Structure 1
């Protein structure tokens, strides 16, 4: 089969990441490259889909500087293919599904999605079959502005882009690093999600920063969190290095372990609760006690080289448990949507128990300062302050909030909104969020500190802490708790435990008990759901036994 795109040698080191991906695919066209729902796409087939989608987008009127909205099932191949095609044409991409800061169980209303399309200037919606009717509704709500382009689905007003496989791609526009490439969204775990802009230059820096391992190293990356967030750049980096990417639509622990074993997964990214769940499953399997792991555990983990985890603060004793099961392959990543990766805790760092409460050291391309809130002056080592970063991966701003952009971006530095301090070893330790400090009883209480105290209780598997105000605007500490299987406790016992670990003022005024922690699509506790109380199992009395 002739490779479907003319790929010059100059693309090997091109600053446009998608051209580097295509150069690599052209060098190994028959390699199974992208896996989804039991089917592999080889390099040539993947490139052919990118070419056909680029032709379809052009036919739909997309021009350099325009915007494409992608509306598909979670982690559908079209999320990558559509982005590569649009970026080759010099256009920006917004993943409409990922704009929802909660889980897929709480989809954004059509009116909200339509507003996003209007705000981003979307001219084309790339849609799969399950979302065709929603896409039609969005076109109507936006006054008929965007045109529809199907991926594997066609209709009178929605041609199937894959039908353009036989048409030539044509000349591509000149690459412009300063042109807008992505409209992403913050997680919004404690409020309304904010859209952010990233240029092609920023995204390419993000992809390069996600690269890991030796040049000729075998790479098989498993994606279980949304491609529209942290792992998008990781997938790009793996494909640009000649590796393989497995797409799972969500996190399912048994399926993840099966993929580890069946496909020889070398790399994956997990939200912290996902790592906890896999650790629990593997710890119950025979063979985990003897390093190196043997039996079912060894069979599942034989190929793993890197397990990156992030998203929420991790309890040191839970990470120590994971280390005993997985071995020295864990990498903790600290970062934000606005900044990209900031620091990491390496596999070797994990071998030092005293470091497990930190988020590691800054990445080589990132500058970090801890500053006094309000003044912006650097604080002495050991004192807590606001974390500011400067790097090539920092966003360009909030397009719909220039005032907030001016507040957080100053002289090339970004205020992350996180609070932290340097420890005596030069490692960064997070102490909370500047916008999530709970002021109760005259004390500033950081939710992360109370979460760590709850997680140190032997019966607690997971915990999330947030502030709740009464009609008098008095703020109280509330906590949601999930127990370990077969273990239980009472709200009063947990309050006493927190009081002993921190102080009585830190003890939650209310504790709710859940069978499982509700998470948003990025694997973070869904605070909106927790505040609503939907799904909680008990209040201040004796809870039922915990379940996985």
Structure 2
């Protein structure tokens, strides 16, 4: 099971390995090999070293990824292909390999499905390339995160060791992008290395998921909190006749009520993965109960900083596997590699000249029986104050309907007074059905603030 990805990259797929599929087409190992060899031949003729990779369909993306890595090049993965994103990364790449010309550069290799290519052998190499992913840094500027094939191989191998027994002969479908580390690992690299076919298109609608569940017996669903939170309502909260073999969620902790709603529809709880682009996977859980602990992966050690309760991490996925990395998450450390996530430590603001943690305010709000989820942000108009966006529990919704918004506001303010001075409490309150999240399941500051743009 060790070096699962590296061994696969050294030999390539078997000719009959099913690489990918969609509603009208499949890609076999022999066709994929021909695609990769065709792209590889173009790449090794180029002096360009840093190649930005992007493609809508995952089969073309995978072919471009393998060819570029086997050519010993550096693969640049942007979070998206918006003009502003590419402009910010302008000095980070020399050439583009993509399904469409994205901007004016010196070199461009087109990713397209070539059905008439001659049979070819898998490219051999002594020096594999590396990946560079870009995430949002604390300053708001893109932050480059380098990943070696050895690090990605360790992650793929451990995922297979941890979950393979639950995935017999599964194919993989996904609602998340392969341009990010979660989708890259779970939809592309892990399935390739473990000979599991993946859906080449991204699932954007519940009807599409239902279609593939109806025609394929064993599917593994790769999704995120943003999508899983909405999925049960789209399925009218009805128990489904065809269900995935396994459901994964990552990008942030899934709300407990949402996890239970997914179980109501699919007769199973999602497996949540906790980690980041920088750290790789840290732990996993299924929410049998609120505040369910996380279990650290094999070869990942967790500890707690005695000063501020921060998560301390030692992992084979890091550049230095023996060094401890301090993270920005406050945890409660349990036994046998288990821990509870409490809140982030790095969101400190000043309200009326008093420092407080937005994460701590959110955490305390979420302990109130009226609240299922909360996001707190700083509002600058008409003056600096806090705004709280709260998704209400069933009890909270009943109280709101029976007693009105002022009664709910006051109940939550009184709850916050146990830890915060009145002058620092949120002045403005919103009660949306869902908190706005992007496609990676992350809260975006601008969309939370936008909830308060109208009175």
TM-score greater than 0.5 by the shorter chain: yes
Query: In structure 1, how many angstroms separate the alpha carbons of the residues matched to 2:148 and 2:115?
Result: 31
TM-score normalised to structure 2 length: 0.82
1:203 aligned residue (149, 152, 160): 152
Counterparts of 1:432 and 1:327 in 2: how far apart (Å)? 29
Closer/same/farther in 2, CA of residues 251 and 525 from structure 1, 3 Å limit: farther
For residues 75-474 of structure 1, the aligned pairs below 5 Å read 75-96=57-78, 98=79, 107-109=82-84, 112-119=85-92, 122-128=93-99, 131-132=100-101, 134-136=102-104, 139=105, 146-152=106-112, 162=114, 165-166=117-118, 172-175=124-127, 181-187=130-136, 191-211=140-160, 212-214=163-165, 217-229=168-180, 230-235=182-187, 236-249=189-202, 251-282=204-235, 284-285=237-238, 288=239, 297=240, 299-301=241-243, 304-346=244-286, 350-351=287-288, 353=289, 356-371=290-305, 378=306, 385-394=309-318, 396=319, 412-423=323-334, 427-440=338-351, 442=354, 444-447=356-359, 450=362, 453=365, 463-469=374-380, 474=384
Query: Quick one: distance in 1 between partners of 2:35 and 2:442?
Result: 33
Q: CA deviation at 1:514?
A: 5.7
CA separation in 1, counterparts of 2:68 and 2:6? Answer: 10
* Per-residue CA distance 1:410-451 (angstroms, 9 max, x = gap): 972222222222258963222222222445464634437627
Matched length: 441
Counterpart Cα distance in 2 of 1:264 and 1:448: 44
Q: Distance in 2 between matches of 1:123 and 1:325?
A: 47
1:479 paired to 2:392: no
Q: Distance in 1 between matches of 2:270 and 2:360?
A: 21
User: Would the alpha carbon gap of residues 174 and 16 (structure 1) be closer, same or farther in structure 2, given more than 3 Å must change?
Assistant: farther
Task: Specify the alignment match of 1:67 in structure 2.
Answer: 50
Q: Which residue of 1 is the match for residue 446 of structure 2?
A: 528
Residues 224, 248 of structure 1: 8 Å contact kept:
no
Give, in whole Å, the separation in 2 of the partners of 1:476 and 1:116: 34
How far 1:81 moved relative to its partner?
A: 1.3
- Structure 1 residue 114, shift from structure 2 partner: 4.1
Residue 33 of structure 2 corresponds to residue 47 of structure 1:
yes
User: Displacement of 1:52 after TM fit?
Assistant: 1.5
Deviates more, 1:443-452 or 1:314-323: 443-452
The 8 Å contact of residues 271 and 522 in structure 1, kept in 2 or not, is answered as yes
**Cα distance change of structure 1 residues 220 and 164 upon mapping to structure 2, 3 Å threshold:** closer
Comparing 233-242 with 424-433, greater Cα deviation is found at 424-433
Q: Which runs of 5+ in 1 are unaligned?
A: 1-12, 101-106, 140-145, 153-160, 289-296, 372-377, 397-408, 541-548
Q: Write the distance in 2 (CA, Å) between the matches of 1:226 and 1:237.
A: 15
RMSD of aligned Cα (Å)? 3.8
Shift, 1:330, TM fit: 2.4
189 and 243 in structure 1: CA distance in 2 versus 1, 3 angstrom threshold: farther
Matched ranges for 1:5-16 at <5 A = 15=3
Displacement of 1:480 in angstroms is: 6.7
Name the SS for the 2:209 alignment partner: helix
Q: Which residue of 2 aligns with 1:510?
A: 428
Q: Is the CA contact (8 Å cut-off) linking 1:190 and 1:528 kept in structure 2?
A: no
Q: Answer yes or no: is the 8 Å Cα contact 2:253–2:274 preserved in 1.
A: no
Query: Distance between the aligned counterparts of 1:189 and 1:526, measured in 2?
Result: 13
Structure-2 change in CA distance of 1:385 and 1:410 (3 Å) = farther
Q: Secondary structure at the match of 1:412?
A: coil
Matches of 1:189 and 1:225, distance apart in 2:
23
- Normalising by structure 1, we get a TM-score of 0.69
- CA shift for structure 1 position 125: 0.5
